[in-house]
Amino acid sequence: MDFPYSIECCGSYLTVKEPQVSETLSKDVIASAREHGAQAIVTACPLCQFNLDYPQRETEAGRTGNEIPVLYFTQLMAVALGLPEDTWGLEDHYVDPRRVLETLRVSENP
C-alpha cells in the first residue's frame, strides 16, 4: 500500500549522534502507516527495520496492542519461500509479526 511517509527515511544515520531525531522520524513513518491502514511494514534496510520496530515498545499503540510489525524483506522472503519458522528471525522483534502473519494465514504448515 502507498502512504505519504512510505519512502521517508527513518534517520538511521542520526541514531548515534541525535537519537531523538531518528526516533521522531521513525514515529512519523509508523503513524502515517497506521493512519492509512497498514497491517505491517517491510523494509529494505536493517536499520530501518530496527528503528521502526523499537520505538513502538514505548508508544500508546504498543500498550494497546495496536502496533505495526516491521519486517526486513529477507524475513518476508523466508516466509514466502516456505522456510521453517525458526529460520525467519522473528524472535528479536519488539512488535511480534506472527500476529499479522497468522491473520493472513501464513504459517509454517499451510
pLDDT the model gives residue 35: 86
Alpha carbons 105 and 69: distance in angstroms, whole number: 16
Residues contacting residue 7 through CB under 8 Å, at least 6 positions apart: none
pTM of the model: 0.76
**For all residues of the chain together, what is the average pLDDT?**
80
pLDDT at 51 over 80: yes
**Confidence class of residue 70 from pLDDT cuts 50, 70 and 90?**
very high
pLDDT the model gives residue 60: 56
Residues contacting residue 21 through CB under 8 Å, at least 6 positions apart: 11, 14
Q: Where are the domains of the chain?
A: 12-103
